[in-house]
Chains A and B, each alone.
Chain A
Amino acid sequence: MPKEKKNVWEMTLERLDATMDALSIKPGMQKYLRQPRKTTEVSVPIKTDAGTIEIFKGYRVHHNTNRGPAKGGVRYHPDVTLDEIKALAMLMTWKCSLVGLPFGGAKGGVVADPTKLSANELEHITRRYTFEIIDMIGPEKDIPAPDVGTNAQVMAWILDTYSMDKGHAVPGVVTGKPISLGGSQGREDATSRGCVYCILSTLKVMGIDSTDMDVAVQGFGNVGGNAAKILHDLGFKIIAISDVSGCLYNKGGLDPFDIDAHLKKEKTLAGYKEAEILNREDIFSLKCDILLPAALENQITEANAASIKARIVAEGANAPTTPDADAILKENKIFVIPDVLANAGGVTVSYFEWVQGNLSYFWTKREVNLKLRDIMEKAFYETYKFSLENKVDMRQAASMLAVSRVAEATGLRGIYP
């Protein structure tokens, strides 16, 4: 029986309510934490290449800024809604809190399809959107970053618009910018690296000290592709990689570098010689030790969760597992490294980029990676310890830990005036 699809904001609130109840947070504080601090909706008019006027809708939301300035991506996608942005802003609050970064949560978006816009039009949208939210952002207030449909170039345009308005260069206003404008070393594969550190810590707590393990990676974009390469280098066997076109499978192991080269040439996984080609759904039922969903939301569902044979699921993507599927994984005793932890490497290196920008002093890639490992391991072991002490799973532990810290900070600051 098909269930009515719940609104993403309502789903996020439901999860938060359960967490706050488990933490016995008082009703007043519960009300406070449920609401975004600031919600802005703007119109973004541009003159198109054809000379016509088009109006786009843009949003920027700050959820909670009691632990520091707001931090969160900007996405350009035709399906962007205010509810989605509110939910994602709240998730950023929890993610920054869990990893111990001194940030609150934010998110922004423009309802636009970047694949149907020219570079020129994208620049106009970005600059006008930046101008419309310019009072909300800044290195001490809110630091945007790339998200779905945006990239380093878009960050460069935001940086330039903001800097021109202020009259001097302000590199700390965005992260995920090009290295030539003050971007950080190691940003590109930061999310993947963070995810790999979580996997290694998981093996450690399971008492497994071998990398002789079979890994299936769903999605071969920035997160999945880099994670496959890093794991391959560490000696893990990548037995399957899938993307929209299908699933490559080789029991003896795939070479992600070779697949990347193939993908760059052919633009699709199809036609790759060194593997069996399966349906893309098959990735979820293969016999493997570690499954790494690194594609879109809601991929592990009630329909396929029971077929998963992996011992560890590392959520490289955001919200790849539906709540129903999550219950099935739990029942099957699969160790899930929740998204809020497993993909926090990206925002962690964003934090490093912000710190480096504010100091005007830049680190080497090795320094960045070692500091990233320290932060990820600390967050992992704190979450793991909490889950053991409170007899909850990693996802619940992560959200309880994150929410409790924000509640504490909010309580300590009190209510102004």
Chain B
Amino acid sequence: MLKKIECFIQPFKLDAVKDALIDAGVEGISISEVQGFGRQRGYSEGEKPNKNVKFLPKIKLEIVVDEEILEMVTKQIVKLAATGKFGSGKIFVLPVEDAVRIRTKESGISAIT
């Protein structure tokens, strides 16, 4: 079964996460620079929040993996993206119905391995 991981991490954690994921067997990652806020509404500890939310820069990673390595991959992200502070990010896991590699027309797990 294919699963998609969409995760949001601090930009300075990207290199460490990327390297670990490649070691874990991930064969493709897409990233984008995004802005967002979470439960802290963009305020760091010690800051005094007002009614406005603040969008902070994050990196979004999109990864499709076989269910077999899913847990290992999410564990690695949790371990390496953690900053010990608010704003470390989030991981979402989504079911993927199918995938197709355009060049070869391979589908399913073959399309991503």
Contact = CB atoms under 8 A, between A and B. Distances in A.
Nearest to B110: A204
Contacts of B98: 370
A203 to B, nearest CB: 9
A contact patch SS = helix
Contacts of A7: none
Interface string A164-206: 0000000000000000000000000000000000001100100
B110 A374 contact: no
A204 B109 CA distance: 11
Nearest to B109: A377
Q: For the side of the interface on A, what is the size category?
A: 10 to 19
A23 to B, nearest CB: 26
Interface string B83-111: 00000000000000110010111111110
B contact patch SS = loop
B31 interface: no
Contacts of B109: 377
B105 A377 contact: no
Given A201-B110, A204-B110, A370-B97, A211 B105 contact: yes
B1 A374 contact: yes
Interface in A27-82: none
Interface in B55-106: 97-98, 101, 103-106
A370 B106 CA distance: 13
A340 to B, nearest CB: 22
A345 B105 CA distance: 21
A107 to B, nearest CB: 32
A273 B97 CA distance: 42
Given A209-B104, A370-B97, A200 B1 contact: no
A210 B108 contact: no
Interface of A: 200-201, 204, 209-211, 234-235, 370, 373-374, 377
